[in-house]
A and B are shown apart, each in its own frame.
Chain A
């Protein structure tokens, strides 16, 4: 069974601070996605990373896929209240199944 553990589970920070969310597994994934989910809505895709060591930037968000494709991180610079939400990583390992992480609930206080 492939498991993805995210840390921290909860994060409450002030507007303007930086933060990093981690997604770790003992399994190798062929690709990894990061999603953001707001209450009562479905997850919205932020990025897909495929290559070990890959770094992708999306405005103030920086995503990195570990060299061994077992872990990933999401770094947010100068967090804003609009970044508040549940951040989910999801790994594609087998040819059909996606495993979701445990989630990181982020609150950015104005």
Chain B
């Protein structure tokens, strides 16, 4: 399967702990996006990369959140000092070309902060 993959699929953590999620995009896609989605709502944009460059960050992305894509392939999203309000589905998507293009989503990582 050559779709977008995410790991882990589920993460349960205690408040105050740090967590890191990984996303592997479709191999030839140079754009990678992170979204957060709460139950029954549409995804909310967090940040995106073109190759290894992080080009835009939403104001939803507080200082506790950091994302990297060091080699322009996989990406990681880290949340430090997690809070209960961070509980959500974290989705990764990738797209092929510059300009507006269709994004293909991974299965998501469900984070629960106790």
Contact = CB atoms under 8 A, between A and B. Distances in A.
Interface of A: 29-31, 33, 35, 40-45, 48, 86, 88, 90, 92-103, 105
Nearest to B10: A40
A102 B102 contact: no
A44 B105 CA distance: 7
Range, interface on chain B: 20 to 34
Nearest to B3: A42
B75 to A, nearest CB: 15
Interface of B: 4, 6, 31, 33, 35, 40-45, 48, 50, 55-56, 89, 91, 93, 98-108, 110
B93 to A, nearest CB: 8
A42 B42 contact: no
B101 to A, nearest CB: 7
